């Protein structure tokens, strides 16, 4: 059976702190969802554009440690200009985990961390990125 990724979740120590970060970085919209715990639905873009939506919720454990191996799926967001996105990450209180690297035949990829320590990827497509 083949399965396709349908939804993603970001876990955070204080979810409300990350709403501004992701809204300003990617233009995502957050809608409070009536749950027994703090939960926001993430609308990552218009319905006619390819992609998936997700959720933001309270982390059910401890925050990730620096340089700790990934213990979850890492989502990679497509961006128009990688350099601009990396500058925004820093300006919004995030960190760059891995600098720009070429992905042959695809473009350029970098990994960043949000202010709560969650790692995500940023990719710009195109052969002439680096």
CATH code at position 41:
3.10.180.10
| Whole-number pLDDT of residue 127 | 62
pLDDT of residue 23: 97
Burial 7-36 (b: 16+ CB within 10 A, else e): ebebbbeebeebbebbeebbebebeeeeee
Residue 1 lies in a domain: no
Residue 130 lies in a domain: no
> Is position 16 within any domain?
yes
Q: What percent of the chain has pLDDT over 70?
A: 88
Please tell me the total count of domains within the chain.
1
Mean pLDDT of 34-38: 74
Task: State the average pLDDT for the chain.
Answer: 87
The pLDDT of residue 51 is 82
Residue 43 lies in a domain: yes
Residue 98 lies in a domain: yes
User: 117 CB contacts (<8 Å, ≥6 apart)?
Assistant: 63, 64, 65, 66
For the residues 20-30, what does the mean pLDDT come to?
96
Of residues 62 and 11, the one with the higher pLDDT is 11
Residue 2 lies in a domain: no
Per the structure block, which two tokens stand in for 116? 């709560």
Residue 50 is assigned to a structural domain of this protein: yes
- Statement: residue 130 has pLDDT above 70: no
Domain range for 17: 8-61+70-125
- Is 27 among the domain residues? yes
pLDDT at res. 100: 93
- What is each CA distance from 115 to 13, 22, 54, in whole angstroms? 10, 10, 18
- 33 vs 79, higher pLDDT: 79
């Amino acid at each position: 059976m083949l399965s396709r990724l349908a939804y993603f979740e970001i876990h955070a120590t204080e979810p409300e702190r990350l709403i501004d970060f992701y809204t300003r970085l990617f233009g995502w919209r957050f809608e409070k969802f009536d749950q027994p715990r703090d939960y926001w639905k993430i609308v990552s873009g218009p319905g006619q554009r390819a992609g998936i939506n997700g959720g933001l919720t309270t982390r059910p454990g401890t925050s990730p440690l620096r340089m700790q191996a990934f213990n979850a799926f890492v989502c990679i967001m497509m961006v128009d200009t990688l350099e601009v996105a990396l500058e925004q990450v820093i300006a919004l209180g995030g960190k760059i985990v891995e600098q720009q690297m070429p992905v042959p035949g695809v473009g350029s990829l970098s990994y960043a961390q949000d202010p709560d320590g969650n790692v995500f990827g940023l990719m710009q497509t195109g052969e002439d990125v680096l």
